[in-house]
Amino acid sequence: MSRATNKQTPEPGVLYVVATPIGNPDDISARAIRTLADADLIACEDTRRTGQMLASHQIRTPTISYFEHNEERRVPELIDRLGAGEKIALVTDAGTPAISDPGFRVVRAALEAGIRVVAIPGASAAIAALSVSGLPTDRFTFEGFLPAKDASRRRALDDLRVEPRTMIFYEASRRLADTLAAMATAFGDSRPAAIVREISKTYEETIRGTLVDLERRFRANPALGEVTIIVEGASATPTPSDVAPVTVEVPIAVQALRDAGLSLKQASAVVAKLTGRGRREVYQNVVKSREDDDSADD
């Protein structure tokens, strides 16, 4: 008598979202080390960088690349493996996955597939910076990286002008001074802020001050390394110094005032007052706009 084979669908696996150190290699939990060692596979941004971290803890779990430019192709593969019962750990180069790093898409796909997703918490630059900023921590909003282009960044900051919660931003060190200047324009020169640089690393520092003071400092002495910006939220009753200049298209505003009867000099002075710019800068902006229009007509 033959014995019947009992074929069963394998139990779904588990996706572990594992936080790793953002600087100091000791900032990894015992639970994270155990999870990485027990996993069938580790999905990571840079297999070489993660491989170094794993080697330091004698972890030999296989790795696979998972980063911004291969997410679309990689997600179905990872979901198939999870569906077959594998335990997969998701990590990024530093910090908590999916927080301004890859991870959101595979987490959502796993949940839609009925796969269990487990957080293995740990380091996060945003929370670490907020905790030492000296700014209110009871309510805050994480804004990640602002757009790199000036116009897009200005619009994003304009949308946050009256945001009452403390705001957390990431920024590339090479763009820090320009971003602080844009923030001062949008939020007002006197808005308190803090720059937290190289969190948990050897040269970590936190510099506090107003947006305009911080912009001047980092314009004169450019920052190096990883940067987090913490900005205090808008006051419920802003003082005149807290009110940012009005954002307008300079040539259009000047022409509207000219149409109302003002001279070019008078119109430039009014727009300069509204925008916080110099009158000469406004005048030159209008002249350049006219030259561009003339060249476009040729």
Residue 297 has pLDDT above 60, yes or no: no
- The verdict on 22 and 67 lying in the same domain is yes
Q: pLDDT confidence of 232, banded at 50, 70, 90?
A: very high
CATH code of 224's domain: 3.30.950.10
CATH code of 98's domain: 3.40.1010.10
Q: Is residue 4 part of a domain?
A: no
Q: What is the pLDDT of residue 1?
A: 44
Q: What is the pLDDT of residue 280?
A: 74
125-136 tens-digit pLDDT? 999 999 999 999
Q: Is residue 8 part of a domain?
A: no
148-183 tens-digit pLDDT? 898 899 999 999 999 999 999 999 999 999 999 999
- In angstroms, rounded to a whole number, what is the distance separating the alpha carbons of residues 189 and 183? 8
Q: Is residue 152 part of a domain?
A: yes
Residue 293 has pLDDT above 80, yes or no: no
On the CB side of 52, CA atoms within 13 Å amount to 8
Rounded percentage of the chain residues whose pLDDT exceeds 70 = 88
Please, is 102 exposed, middle or buried when counting C-beta atoms within 10 Å of its C-beta (0-12, 13-18, 19+)?
Answer: buried
Give the domain extent around 100.
14-123
Q: Is residue 272 part of a domain?
A: yes
Q: Model's pTM, two decimal places?
A: 0.75
User: Which of the listed residues 226, 242, 258 is the one where a domain comes to its end?
Assistant: 242
80-95 tens-digit pLDDT? 999 999 999 999 999 9
- The verdict on 106 and 213 lying in the same domain is no
Residue 10 has pLDDT above 90, yes or no: no
Q: What is the number of domains present in the chain? A: 3
Q: Looking at residues 279-296, what average pLDDT do you find?
A: 68
User: Which of the listed residues 222, 242, 262 is the one where a domain comes to its end?
Assistant: 242
Closest C-alpha to 286, from 232, 249, 242? 249
Q: pLDDT confidence of 254, banded at 50, 70, 90?
A: confident
- The verdict on 210 and 267 lying in the same domain is no
